[in-house]
């Protein structure tokens, strides 16, 4: 897969993966700003602002952005996380020029008015109610990350605390826009049916007149070393307990991240995984669970979430998880388990490259998370170099009992 990389005179970075297999294009704009850039008391502003980017500009009235792109057959959306905010438009390739014009326009000419701002803030409050306050997993996950990162901005929820969202003003948003939205703080990723010459001409035409800005240095905060486990219990109106466990993990740039990815496959992915058997299939303690090891810029989280079966306390799953990690520290993993994990990671890697949208997303994610999209391919190559010793040593050092954070959603709470 060939990916062109170049930069316009105003600092706009472009990554382009051409494919003429189907007449469509995925166009993504990744801004290097996310919830970890937020000031205290202003949590949620990066995400709320992402919503406001659809509210119109001085030349494109409110609603027109979506209307024009949907008329062209486009799929349009956006997302915000710790270190980035990204906007995507998947369109038939003959609609690309319109996408480029609209994205460049809202990078510099957004128009924010009080009434649409107030309505959109209400939408975000409802989004929080749906995804966090009334969703047991969302609520417990928020608690877990807050515990894993008590002094790091990653511990603040991307959607924001309710009271902070309610307090965000239009002026706050205008300041946020003025500070972070500029060509030199963005990466445009294009995958699909457009050639380099045509793309570059469109980009120059649309973005060429935009000025670079002084972008604040990003905050990098050390994750405080954890020497004692932490626990939180939250009573919830559930029919069975839930358990979340999390460990601060290495950043995406760290060689240990690959080892923990492989370990995640061994303990948590698929029917043959150790936790699946011990918690669900054979142990019959849980109705389901998942584990994940997301690759993040400053620090990751090795996370396990378990939905207990009725009558089994969450502590029972915690014991099982601790036992499995202890047995890996003591007895290691087998060569067969590691090879299976490497094969699964290889399959997963290719599965993430099937559509233009997936390719653009992978390229953009790796570029803004690690500073160089090519790490995505290097990472895949390094799966095959993994050794049992590396995986076991990383598990022993990073997933030791005193480094765990435990959040229990305790079943049985009733209406207050």
**Could you give the residue numbers annotated as active site?**
50
CB 356 within 8 A of CB 24: yes
For another protein, give the closer residue by CB, 185 or 276.
Answer: 276
| Secondary structure of residue 169 in the 3-state scheme | coil
Locate the DSSP E strands across 181-299: 186-192, 230-235, 242-249, 286-292
Count Cβ atoms below 10 Å from residue 70 Cβ, excluding itself: 12
State the nearest-atom distance from the C-beta of 385 to another protein, in Å.
17
For another protein, give the closer residue by CB, 93 or 226.
Answer: 93
For another protein, give the closer residue by CB, 287 or 400.
Answer: 287
Structure tokens at 230: 């932490």
For another protein, give the closer residue by CB, 115 or 225.
Answer: 115
Q: What are phi and psi of 249, to 5 degrees?
A: -125, 170
The CA distances from residue 345 to 172, 264, 383, in Å, are 42, 10, 8
| Secondary structure of residue 222 in the 3-state scheme | coil
State the nearest-atom distance from the C-beta of 364 to another protein, in Å.
18
State the nearest-atom distance from the C-beta of 171 to another protein, in Å.
20
CB 41 within 8 A of CB 241: no
Q: What share of the chain is helix, strand, coil (3-state, %, to 5)?
A: 50, 20, 35
CA distance 136 to 121: 23
User: What separation, in Å, do the N-terminal and C-terminal C-alpha atoms of the chain show?
Assistant: 57
| Secondary structure of residue 25 in the 3-state scheme | strand
State the nearest-atom distance from the C-beta of 277 to another protein, in Å.
8
For another protein, give the closer residue by CB, 81 or 247.
Answer: 81
What is the arrangement of strands in the sheet containing 4-7, beginning at the earlier edge strand? 4-7, 13-18, 186-192, 24-31, 85-92, 75-80
State the nearest-atom distance from the C-beta of 286 to another protein, in Å.
8
Structure tokens at 336: 């067969």
CB 349 within 8 A of CB 1: no
For another protein, give the closer residue by CB, 134 or 211.
Answer: 134
State the nearest-atom distance from the C-beta of 319 to another protein, in Å.
19
CB 37 within 8 A of CB 47: no
For another protein, give the closer residue by CB, 146 or 272.
Answer: 272
For another protein, give the closer residue by CB, 128 or 152.
Answer: 128
State the nearest-atom distance from the C-beta of 360 to another protein, in Å.
13
Closest to 193 in 3D by CA, of 355, 21, 29: 21
Give the binding site for another protein (CB under 8 A): 21-24, 63, 66-67, 70-76, 90, 92, 95, 118-123, 125-127, 129-130, 133-136, 237-240, 270-272, 277, 280-282, 284, 286-288, 307, 309-310, 336, 339-340, 342-347, 350-351, 353-356, 413-416
Give the strand pairing for 13-18 and 186-192: parallel
State the nearest-atom distance from the C-beta of 47 to another protein, in Å.
12
CB 26 within 8 A of CB 88: yes
Q: What is the CA radius of gyration of the chain?
A: 23
């Amino acid at each position: 897969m060939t990916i062109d990389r170049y930069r316009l005179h105003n600092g706009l970075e472009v990554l382009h993966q051409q494919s003429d297999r189907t007449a469509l294009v995925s166009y993504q704009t990744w801004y290097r700003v996310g919830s970890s850039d937020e000031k205290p008391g202003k949590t949620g502003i990066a995400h709320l602002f992402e919503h406001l980017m659809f509210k119109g500009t001085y030349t494109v009235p409110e609603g027109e952005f979506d209307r024009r792109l949907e008329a062209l057959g486009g799929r349009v959306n956006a997302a915000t996380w710790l270190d980035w905010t990204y906007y995507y438009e998947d369109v038939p390739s003959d609609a690309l020029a319109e996408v480029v014009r609209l994205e460049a326009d809202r990078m510099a000419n957004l128009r924010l008015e009080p009434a649409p701002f107030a309505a959109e803030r209400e939408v975000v409050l409802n989004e929080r109610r749906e995804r966090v306050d009334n969703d047991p997993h969302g609520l417990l996950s928020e608690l877990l990350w807050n515990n894993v990162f008590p002094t790091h901005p990653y511990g603040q929820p991307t959607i924001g605390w309710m009271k902070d969202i309610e307090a965000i003003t239009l002026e706050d948003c205008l300041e946020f826009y003025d500070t972070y939205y500029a060509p030199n703080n963005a990466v445009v990723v294009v995958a699909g049916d457009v050639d380099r010459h045509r793309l570059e001409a469109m980009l120059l035409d649309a973005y060429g007149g935009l000025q670079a800005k002084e972008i604040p240095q990003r905050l990098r905060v050390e994750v405080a070393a954890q020497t004692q486990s932490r626990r939180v219990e939250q009573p919830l109106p559930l029919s069975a307990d839930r358990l979340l466990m999390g460990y601060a993990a290495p950043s995406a740039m760290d060689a240990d991240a690959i080892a923990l990815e492989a370990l995640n496959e061994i303990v948590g992915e698929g029917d043959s995984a150790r936790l699946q058997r011990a918690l669900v299939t054979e142990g019959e303690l849980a109705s389901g669970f998942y584990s994940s090891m997301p690759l993040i810029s400053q620090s990751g989280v090795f996370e396990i979430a378990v939905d207990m079966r009725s009558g089994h306390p969450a502590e029972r799953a915690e014991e099982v998880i601790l036992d499995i990690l202890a047995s890996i520290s003591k007895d290691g993993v087998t060569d067969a388990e590691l090879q299976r994990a490497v094969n699964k990671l290889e399959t997963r890697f290719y599965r993430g490259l099937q559509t233009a949208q997936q390719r653009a997303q992978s390229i953009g994610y790796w570029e803004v998370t690690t500073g160089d999209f090519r790490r995505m391919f290097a990472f895949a190559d390094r799966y095959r170099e993994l050794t049992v010793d590396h995986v076991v040593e990383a598990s022993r050092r990073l997933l030791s009992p005193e480094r765990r954070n435990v959040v229990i959603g305790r079943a049985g709470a009733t209406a207050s």
